[in-house]
A and B are shown apart, each in its own frame.
Chain A
Amino acid sequence: MSELTKQDEASQVDPEDASASPRKAWIKLLTDSTAFIFLALLAMLVAFTVLRPEAFATVNNLRNIAIAASILLVLSIGQTFVIGTAGIDISVGSMLVFAGVAASLAMAEINGGQGWTAVAVGTVVSLLSGGAWGLVNGLLITKAKLPPLIVTLGTFGGVLGFAKVLTGGINLRTVPTELVETLGIGRLFGVIPWLVILALVVMTAAAITLRFTRFGRYTIAIGSNEEAARRVGINVDRHLLKVYALSGVLAGIAGMMSLSRFANTTIQGHDTDNLQSIAAVVIGGTSLFGGIATMFGTLVGVFIPTTLQNGFVILRIQPFWQEVAVGAVLILAVYVDQLKRRARDRL
């Protein structure tokens, strides 16, 4: 065998060389693309600063970007798990709105919508209703065997529809002052908004879960090869249910964050949350084809759409251009993802 191993190695000089270069190329591309995102973000910040330093590069404005990014980050954390399984969740923005509406309706029943009891009840209702819709997504995907794209496209429309039915299409404004004044506009040491801190705490927990736990391992394994996961006895359906439910619960958290920031249910404000979060996740380096996911990448990724949005408003460019830009960046990021895979995979 030792002789055979030597032969094996000798004969593999060629393939080994071939494997070394794609591997290097892969690492290079990966580092390059991560560096590329930082550079792109930096270039954006510099450009906006140069164009309107007095409005863009202020503490207040950068704080605004961070706040906008924090709500998107919480949605994108769920999206990272979902995309890690090679799935997709188009319904995140609708679940956010529905959770906010449900919470607002529930809070209105308690002390006329004021006080900490109302906040607590609202939070529970928001997380439960987000989680329930996530569970509906998961059940349709695993039990009815429908493609995630179609299921969540359906709930994207349907759940927002339900939210509008509940409110008659008019934004509810029942949000306890206690919530707005703490989570909504409050800051740690008067500097760091609580919204940002909450998002970072959630992100850290999610990053640890993804990287170090069995839950994270199964998420990646299913995205990498679902059939292989089934054959070794992993309960794939149950895991997918959990992942989609998690996405819903996180949308519920984002719903409470949105309520406390805007003091209303912002029904019209979340049509493109799905685009933004999917773009953020994929820009960050999570593979749309599943099997590769990075929470830190998502953290960087969310700043691309939010900085663009903010910069365009400040430059008085029609903010609609942001959607055009984000769409283009999403397509580019998926293209790069594909190139990375081709460079790495043999055969």
Chain B
Amino acid sequence: MGDTTKPLLQARGIYKSFGHVRALRGCDFDIYPGEVVAMIGDNGAGKSTLVKILAGVQPPDNGEIIFDGQPVTLADPTAAQRLGIETVYQDLALAPDLNPAANLFLGREILRPGLLGKLGFLDNAAMVEQTRAAFTSLGAGVQSETVPVASLSGGQRQSIAVSRAATWANRLVIMDEPTAALGVVQSKAVLELIKRVSDQGIAVVIISHNMPEVLEVSDRVEVLRLGERVARFQTGEANMDLLVGAMTGSLVQEDA
């Protein structure tokens, strides 16, 4: 996974405004290879905007994104995907009428070998098989690869979205509130899934409002407030009071 002392991805001085709203005001962000970094902040801190910029959904007004030491331009989601960055959106971005295998391979379908493949014929058997393998290796707990996603539970859908990201990302997975809509047990399963993704050497950015969850799953925490990074912690050194203090502005780190 390369040198773990050099950042995998750095955001430097990112600005983004929507009309009169200044969502990001010179925001920085760092993540190192194989790390799980929790990005936290109160509502309106700019987390979702920063995630959209890192995922290539929106361009920044100003600022620099450095990936593997090289400045990059993420013009669209496929540009980010080419760098090995995958994003799990809050709304999951699954096609409910398609089955888990079709969703996992959406936009990256496996075609049949030979002439049939050239004509665009799908190799569904191969896709189902590889999906099953991905679910097994991640412990995703999705029982069927061949029923419409719409008929599955929220937790299973979340598992599919996370598995899809983990399957295609080889460097970084970004997750926007992956457990927000889930119950206690299902949240635990998704957190377990995140750990397994990280065990594969893939860096993970997780946005969460759930402080115990943040403390449990992350290696580091970066705190955003009013469009800027205001604090950074090693998770071992952090506690609930510190995190909440940084989020609300009662605690400020000068060097953040």
Chain A residues near B (Cβ < 8 Å): 1, 4-5, 7-9, 11-12, 15, 19, 22-23, 26, 212-215, 217, 220-221, 223-225, 227-234, 290-292, 344-347
Contact = CB atoms under 8 A, between A and B. Distances in A.
A212 B121 contact: yes
Contact of B151 (A19, A213, A225, A234): A19
A8 B97 contact: no
A8 B89 contact: no
Contact of A346 (B93, B119, B141, B153): B153
A23 B155 CA distance: 17
Interface of B: 57, 76-78, 81, 87, 89, 91-98, 102, 106-109, 111, 119-122, 139, 141, 147-148, 150-155, 183, 185-186, 188-189, 192
Contacts of B155: 8
B18 to A, nearest CB: 19
Given A4-B189, A217-B102, A217-B122, A229 B97 contact: no
Given A5-B141, A12-B185, A347-B154, 19 more contacts: A4-B185, A4-B188, A212-B122, A214-B111, A215-B120, A217-B98, A220-B98, A221-B98, A225-B96, A228-B92, A228-B94, A228-B95, A229-B107, A231-B89, A232-B107, A232-B108, A292-B97, A345-B150, A346-B151
B171 to A, nearest CB: 17
Contacts of B81: 233
A71 B136 CA distance: 49
A225 B125 CA distance: 23
B185 A11 contact: yes
A223 B97 contact: yes
Contacts of B152: 19, 346
A282 to B, nearest CB: 16
Q: 4 closest pairs, A vs B, by CB? A: A291-B97, A232-B107, A224-B95, A224-B97
Contacts of A346: 150-154
A4 B121 contact: no
A244 B147 CA distance: 29
Contacts of A1: 139, 192
B111 A224 contact: no
7 contacts: A8-B155, A213-B120, A217-B122, A229-B107, A232-B107, A233-B77, A233-B107
Nearest to B95: A224
Nearest to B191: A4
A305 B156 CA distance: 42
Contact of A8 (B94, B148, B150, B189): B189
A8 B186 contact: yes
Contact of B153 (A19, A26, A229): A19
A225 B141 contact: no
Nearest to A212: B121
Nearest to A215: B120
B97 A220 contact: yes
Given A23-B147, A217-B109, A224-B95, A8 B141 contact: yes
Nearest to B196: A1
B97 A214 contact: no
Given A5-B139, A220-B95, A233-B107, A213 B78 contact: no
A49 B91 CA distance: 54
